[in-house]
A and B are shown apart, each in its own frame.
Chain A
Amino acid sequence: MSLGKRQHLRFIALHAPLLLAALSPVCLASQAQAAGTLAGTSIENTATASYDDGGTTVTVDSNTVSLIVDEILDIAVNWDDPGDVSVRPGELDAVLKFTVTNGGNGPEPAILGIDSNIASDAFDPTAVTMFIDTDDNGVYDVGTDTLYSPATPPTLAPDASITVFLLGDIPASTADGERSEVELTATAATGSGTPGTVFAGQGEGGGDAVVGSTGATADDSGFYAVVDAALDLTKTATVLDPFGGATQVPGAIITYRLTAETTGSGALDNVVITDAIPADTTYVDESITLDSTGLTDTADADAGTYDGSGIAVTLGTVAGGTTNIIEFQVVID
């Protein structure tokens, strides 16, 4: 410990570049602490000295330096869905999920905005609205979650996040595979701009508000992807007459083949293939097959039924890319 003469601050300033290497890891560490000291907090520093003055110990306090911590304005937005949200043409209120986080050190209202009209995508959802996840369960709940109103933006505590749901209607004209980008923007209500911009006196606790590294505004995009499927049904007939030929005479057996081809990236639900038995023919009992496997006529565990006037095969949910072949036979009367 040197007892050097009073050093001027200029001395420190001159040597400061040498100390930068020591400082930089600290800067990183302090950024890792999210919001930091709350805005409005007072930092007070007082040192105490004691010394011996002719046998008596004297204690002396320094003056107290008081600093007020100003409010940092920082906002982050993140699209939370794991990937494109699958929608169907004409679907209403398709939900995209976002998180808005207050990275600042004071409570701050977040002004939200949507841009659903991104030029580079295939379609735009209509009637897009924003809901705040009021019960904070991460799932959009009709009637529970609150419709965002610009007049009363949600206020986020320091380090706090809210979930925001975007609900959009998918136009009926959209086709399988088409994508749509929707952007959510959140901005600190106090203000935004170049990092370091000061809003004097507008910080929490009466201090200033200072724009942080995020610029106090952030956005992220979520995506819808249309997933649709279509069913092509083709019917062919093969005739086998009693003489081994293909003449349509009484007693000839007609084998009908129904080819059900499901296309697209989606799936079709509740698919039932039905076909009426033609006039002047008689259904051959127990003749239904699905993909070459025989089905019974009665309504039971298997997919096939015959109700006296026609056959039905219940395929249920069929994914795009599936082809099912159904066959049944009738005899010409």
Chain B
Amino acid sequence: MKYLIAFLALIAPASAVLGNQVALDSEVFVERSEEQADGSVTVTLEEPTRVVPGDNLLFVLTYENTGAEAAENFVVTNPMPEAVVFVEEIDGGARYSVDGGTVFGALAELRIASEDGVERNAQPADVTHIRWTLTEPIPAGASGQLKFRGVVR
């Protein structure tokens, strides 16, 4: 019996992984732009060992359907880290929340109640959550990336 419990403990996480047909991977890069001698600007991406306020970050989410079946109604939500100001989403099609994840919509449709009680249009800096909803199922074996930019406050 003792051995059985140990065995179950071992397979429990493994079965959870098997059930996760779609894997989601998060990466963050720092974009450093450097002006070259000829006046052109080269942008390099680094996996940061350190960041400082003002650094431009590129967030890359990679999803991959490792299962045998298509995954439908795929929705990815990324809450903005508190110390990062949202700048832009790269491929388009994301919806945003400016109220901590309750209401999602196009940024132009969202309003913010400012301190003096007057509403104003939401700005990128107001974004608290980004959400992508894929309209098509992810076929088995397919993968893709979702990207957005932010700046360290």
Query: In this assembly, does A37 line the interface, its C-beta being within 8 Å of a C-beta of chain B?
Result: yes
Tell me the complex Cα distance, A72–B60, Å: 26
8 Å CB contact of B54 from A5, A36, A198: A36
Q: Is A31 an interface position by the 8 A CB rule?
A: yes
Q: CB of A172 within 8 A of chain B?
A: no
Instruction: Report chain B residues within 8 Å CB of A208.
Output: 50
> In whole Å, how far is B66's beta carbon from the nearest beta carbon of chain A?
11
A198 to chain B, nearest CB (A): 8
Contact, CB under 8 Å: A207 / B50: yes
Residue of B nearest to A56 (CB): B19
B85 CB–A CB distance under 8 Å: yes
Count of A-B residue pairs with CB < 8 Å: 181
Complexed CA–CA distance, A37 and B55 (Å): 11
* Complex CA–CA separation, A26 to B53 (angstroms): 12
> Could you tell me if A51 and B81 are in contact, using CB atoms closer than 8 angstroms?
no
Q: Are A52 and B71 in contact (CB under 8 A)?
A: yes
Is A152 in contact with chain B by the CB < 8 A criterion?
Answer: no
Bound form: Cα–Cα A67–B59 in Å:
12
Chain B nearest Cβ from A55, distance in angstroms: 10
Question: Which chain B positions have C-beta within 8 A of A17?
Answer: 40-41, 43
* Cβ < 8 Å to A, chain B residues 62-83: 62-64, 67, 69, 71-79, 81-83
Cα distance A37–B51 in the bound complex, in angstroms: 10
Contacts of A48 in B (CB 8 A): 24, 76-78
Q: Which of A23, A54, A60 contacts B24 (CB 8 A)?
A: A60
- CA of A81 to CA of B111 in the docked complex: distance in angstroms? 45
The CA-CA distance from A69 to B82 in the complex, in Å, is 12
For the complex, is A271 an interface residue (Cβ under 8 Å from B)?
no
Task: Name the residue in B25, B52, B133 with the highest tally of chain A Cβ atoms < 10 Å from its Cβ.
Answer: B52
Contact of A58 among B21, B79, B136, B138 (CB under 8 A): B21
Q: Interface readout for B17-28 with A: 1 if CB under 8 Å, 0 if not? A: 001111111111
Q: How many A residues, CB 8 Å from partner? A: 58
How many whole Å from B149's CB to the nearest CB in chain A?
8
The reply to whether the CB of B87 lies closer than 8 angstroms to some CB of chain A is yes
From 19 to 67 in chain A, residues with beta carbon under 8 angstroms from any chain B beta carbon are 19-20, 22-23, 26-27, 29-31, 33, 35-37, 41, 43-54, 57-58, 60-65, 67
Give complex CA distance A20, B87 in Å: 12
B84 at the interface (CB under 8 A from A): yes
Query: Cβ of A7 < 8 Å from any Cβ of B?
Result: yes
A151 contacts partner chain B, Cβ-Cβ < 8 Å? no
A58 x B19 contact (CB < 8 A)? yes
| Contact of B121 with A by CB under 8 A | no
A118 interface residue (CB < 8 Å to B): no
Could you say which of A7, A46, A61, A72 contacts B145, with CB atoms under 8 Å apart?
A7
> Does A3 reach chain B (CB closer than 8 Å)?
yes
Q: Which residue of A lies closest to B149 (CB)?
A: A23
Contact B50 A13 (CB under 8 A): no
Which chain A positions have C-beta within 8 A of B97?
none
Residues of A within 8 A of B136 (CB): 3
Identify the closest chain A residue to B142 (Cβ).
Answer: A3
C-alpha gap A43/B53 in the complex (Å): 11
Q: Closest Cβ of chain B: how far from A41's Cβ, in Å?
A: 5
Is A119 at the interface (CB under 8 A from chain B)?
Answer: no
- Judged by a CB distance under 8 angstroms, whether B152 is at the interface is yes
Whether A3 contacts B71 by the Cβ 8 Å rule is: no
**A62 surroundings in chain B (CB, below 8 A):** 24-26, 61
Give CA–CA (A207, B49) in the complex, Å: 10
- The answer to whether B26 touches A64 (Cβ under 8 A) is yes
| A26 and B151 within 8 A (CB) | yes
A residues in contact with B53, CB < 8 Å: 30, 33, 35-37, 69, 72, 105
Question: Within the assembled complex, what's the spacing in Å between the Cα atoms of A58 and B20?
Answer: 7
Q: Give B2 Cβ to nearest chain A Cβ, in Å.
A: 32
A16 close to B (CB within 8 Å): yes
* Inter-subunit contact A69/B51 (CB<8 Å): yes
5 contacts between A and B (CB under 8 A): A12-B147, A23-B56, A48-B76, A60-B23, A69-B53
Knowing that A9-B29, A26-B85, A65-B27 are A-B contacts, what are 9 other residue pairs whose CB atoms are under 8 Å apart, sorted by A's residue number? A9-B60, A26-B151, A27-B56, A37-B53, A45-B78, A47-B24, A60-B22, A71-B52, A210-B50
Residues on B lying within 8 angstroms of A by beta carbon are 19-29, 31, 33, 40-41, 43-45, 48, 50-54, 56, 58-64, 67, 69, 71-79, 81-85, 87-88, 90-93, 125, 132-136, 138, 142-145, 147, 149, 151-153
